[in-house]
Amino acid sequence: MTDQSKTAKLACIQVEAMLCFDLYSTHHAVGQVYKPLLAPLGVTYPQYLVLTVLWASDNLTVGAIGERLYLESSTLTPLIKRLEGQGLVKRKRDREDERKVRVKLTKAGDAMRADVQHIPTCLTEAFGVPMPELMGVHETLGKIRAALKKQAEAEARGDA
């Protein structure tokens, strides 16, 4: 192995370790900040994400919610049932297509929108980083995500 390829490999190891772990642990840290903000409302962060999707566009199917959040029905079905158990949403088979299940906010679920108004501001302030820098990260993460998805699909096809 040449010195140059050694250096390149070392750089890769460091970047992989750094960035993957950055994502892993920053994601984790975000969850820790959300937890006490959401606890008074009795919902978890993934449940809050589902509600956020519904606040933007109500009466979606399970599949449509999953598309937006990159989650499978095996994750969403029990999660949504818990939301239903708390009286925040209602599940109903679609009349037109009985395979689909439509998830609709209840009055309580819709009203909770008002109880979370402070959260986005809390988070953005908690980031402690000026807006333009956040935008830069947003942009790069978008590119990375697109590239990773392509990679995952390539591997799934077998041409690793």
Partner DNA sequence: CACGACTTAATCGTATGCAATAGAAGGATG
Partner DNA sequence: CATCCTTCTATTGCATACGATTAAGTCGTG
Q: Which residues bind DNA (CB under 7 A)?
A: 28, 31-32, 35, 44-47, 61-64, 66, 70-80, 82, 91, 96-101
Binding status of residue 17 toward a copy of itself by CB under 8 A: yes
Helices marked H in 3-105: 3-38, 45-56, 62-69, 73-85
Q: Residue 117 — φ and ψ, nearest 5°? A: -55, -30
> By C-beta, is 54 or 76 nearer to DNA?
76
Contacts of residue 3, Cβ cutoff 8 Å, sequence gap at least 6: none
What does the per-residue mask of binding to a copy of itself show for 66-85, with x meaning CB under 8 A?
Answer: ----x---------------
- Cβ atoms of residues 68 and 50 within 8 Å: no
The one of a copy of itself, DNA, none whose footprint includes residue 21, by CB under 5 to 8 A per kind, is a copy of itself
Binding status of residue 111 toward a copy of itself by CB under 8 A: no
Contacts of residue 119, Cβ cutoff 8 Å, sequence gap at least 6: 34, 37, 38
| Cα separation, 92 vs 57, whole angstroms | 16
Instruction: Give whole-number Cα distances, 159 to 12, 16, 36, 113, 154, in Å.
Output: 21, 21, 44, 46, 6
Question: Nearest approach, Cβ of 136 to DNA (angstroms)?
Answer: 25
The one of a copy of itself, DNA, none whose footprint includes residue 72, by CB under 5 to 8 A per kind, is DNA
Interacting residues toward a copy of itself by CB under 8 A:
8-9, 11-13, 15-30, 32-34, 36-37, 49, 52, 70, 117, 119-121, 123-124, 126-129, 131, 133-134, 136-138, 140-152, 155-156, 160
